[in-house]
Structure 1
């Protein structure tokens, strides 16, 4: 398989150098159709490989918390995209060979396969295997005419075509299945941009969408006739107001042993005089004006740093790595220190490199920040950790 894929890769690479401007319009359209079919066939191959690796437990054996997380690092995907890949691979492997074959033949796209797989699963649960087989034929035929969005709309009434005698009775079951998919696919992704901003993307289920609108809509109204903000800017500012209001409450749970808060790091000289750039515990940088504003309503916690920014002293605790010592860990590790993990500090535990029960001290040179999964993994695997010459953790 590896050799055959390498040959296919060489053939595709040769096409990249082709002079498309010399081709006729008819040939260009034919090439486009062929390239699209090839893309879907390669997707079928990739899904088959993902399913096999997932079944073997390769991701967990290599230290990842799931196949989706492993795919994120291996293929440089977003977590939602990786999860959809794993879910679709499992769906096509579970009783829908007709859908898998249609994808492998290039007759349907990956997104259409996802819609068909979900619909067939619902039909199978509501009307049995025979109706599910009929549904595959109907949906694959529709896929030749309609895009995934319209195909999904049409699929909500598929029982009218394959099992009309029970269509009305199972409509509620279909709605419940759609609600379950909405719950399963819910996610929110925060992607850091190069200039320190965040891009928010995600899918909210119906209930959460209602909660967000109820909370944010009253804050999005224009502040007056002179308000020149766009609707998008007003929603952005409303979300910021909502976060500030929430952080002022006393009902938020603790994160990693600390009350909910934000941490801004700056130097004493710049704090005492003309403030310079500040750094959040997530690594994002803030302008001097923003730091000045935040410093008006903040607790100032001193930390002694070496010339290279290494934390020298933030206090000591007897056993628990909390308070000043934890803040030192956050300053040093910036989140889970395990290779390839991007979980932020607030999701992490403080781990004793040499266990406290074995005589290990509770100090910065004997501690490392780990997310819950990698904390458990380090305790129950052959991985070891020690501080390197630069004072940062190395994993073996």
Structure 2
């Protein structure tokens, strides 16, 4: 109901999926499942009742929901398919049979629904999902068509072709190292597209004392994507990298370039990325390389091109603040966001009723 009414737009977000991620603190996968299942419930009353009764799991409901995607509903209507009968059959299978049988039945139905259609573009099924953990490490999964998979395997084999006879790494370790080396080679070549006017690069933020000292310094440095690493690891990265000094004061890089410059120079953008870490609009998780540097007080209205007058905003929310929304940085460093009507956008569950009480 929120999606149909456009409720997410009230808080400046594009979809219910993005609202659930930012305001409801759901993961990307869970938010997508909730939205997909919610859309399906209005078309499948049998599954809705079974789901509400606990006879069908949320995972099964999300799987069956595929039959109500717009293109599938259109094909069913063209062929005169009784969606009620499909609802009954799939719900009964989900209620009585293992999850794998539900998946098989759904795939069988969709294949039969488009049996005479053109062969789909195999690249449309490509997916890459990366999840970052609290310690900065990442895990993920990907789906590639046969040709895309062949290209990736050929590249990985080429990178690790020169391994020595005494290499004791497992096959999985070899492939992981080869994937990192592919990324290193691409970044070092300088041929990748630029991000917001800068060449893509690995960014590490660390205090000068930790960088110069000999200690391990666990958790002393932070990468551009938000991972926390040790000072020793940061020094290792700095061996063949450029070191840029950012000083929040009059003795270092002049962050306040005054009224003479309207466009944000590289050193000021770098400082804003270090301070903000991504889009500052409430509920948004866009990383720094998606963001513009916004003048809180417009340059044309006397606003300076300075760190104090800057905020990182993704393209969507940069547009929003130029159409009535407002962001403001508090003295403690927190950002707050207001709607055009003056009400503040608050994140997380909000209890509006009377305080809960417990019986004596």
**Normalising by the residue count of structure 1, what TM-score does the alignment of the two structures yield?**
0.71
Q: Indicate whether 1:367 and 2:310 are aligned.
A: yes
Q: 1:75 aligns with which of 11, 21, 24?
A: 24
Q: What is the CA-CA distance between 1:395 and the residue it aligns to?
A: 3.7
The separation in 1 between residues aligned to 2:334 and 2:137, in whole angstroms, is: 27
Structure-2 residue corresponding to 1:254: 194
User: What RMSD, in angstroms, separates the aligned Cα atoms of the two structures?
Assistant: 3.4
1:75 aligned counterpart, secondary structure: coil
- Is 1:266–1:279's contact at 8 Å kept on the other side of the alignment? yes
Structure-1 residue corresponding to 2:297: 354
Q: 1:344 aligns with which of 260, 263, 287?
A: 287
Q: What is the CA-CA distance between 1:318 and the residue it aligns to?
A: 0.8
What do the CA deviations read for 1:282-310 (whole angstroms, capped 9, x no partner)?
A: 34333343233322211222222459xx9
Q: 1:191 aligns with which of 132, 148, 151?
A: 132
Structure-2 residue corresponding to 1:108: 56
CA distance 1:215–1:114, change in 2 (3 Å): same
1:84 aligned counterpart, secondary structure: helix
Q: What is the CA-CA distance between 1:355 and the residue it aligns to?
A: 0.7
What do the CA deviations read for 1:225-258 (whole angstroms, capped 9, x no partner)?
A: 4323233322322221111011012321221222
Q: Which has the higher contact order (CA 8 A, sep 6+)?
A: 2
1:77 aligned counterpart, secondary structure: coil
Alignment of 1:18-167 (within 5 A): 52-93=1-42, 95-119=43-67, 122=72, 125=75, 128-158=79-109
What do the CA deviations read for 1:8-50 (whole angstroms, capped 9, x no partner)?
A: xxxxxxxxxxxxxxxxxxxxxxxxxxxxxxxxxxxxxxxxxxx
CA distance 1:119–1:55, change in 2 (3 Å): closer
- Is 1:352–1:367's contact at 8 Å kept on the other side of the alignment? yes
Q: 1:200 aligns with which of 116, 120, 139?
A: 139
Q: Which one has a larger percent helix, Structure 1 or Structure 2?
A: 1
Structure with higher Rg: it is: 1
The separation in 2 between residues aligned to 1:128 and 1:138, in whole angstroms, is: 18
Q: What is the CA-CA distance between 1:205 and the residue it aligns to?
A: 4.4
Q: Indicate whether 1:281 and 2:224 are aligned.
A: yes
Q: What is the CA-CA distance between 1:82 and the residue it aligns to?
A: 0.2
Structure-2 residue corresponding to 1:6: none
The separation in 2 between residues aligned to 1:124 and 1:388, in whole angstroms, is: 51
The separation in 1 between residues aligned to 2:304 and 2:130, in whole angstroms, is: 37
**Normalising by the residue count of structure 2, what TM-score does the alignment of the two structures yield?**
0.77
Aligned residue pair count: 329
| Structure 1 unmatched ranges of 5 or more | 1-51, 161-166
CA distance 1:91–1:215, change in 2 (3 Å): farther
The separation in 1 between residues aligned to 2:161 and 2:46, in whole angstroms, is: 51
Q: What is the CA-CA distance between 1:189 and the residue it aligns to?
A: 2.9
The separation in 2 between residues aligned to 1:147 and 1:177, in whole angstroms, is: 31
Higher mean C-alpha displacement, 320-329 vs 251-260: 251-260
The separation in 1 between residues aligned to 2:121 and 2:203, in whole angstroms, is: 42
Q: What is the CA-CA distance between 1:102 and the residue it aligns to?
A: 3.4
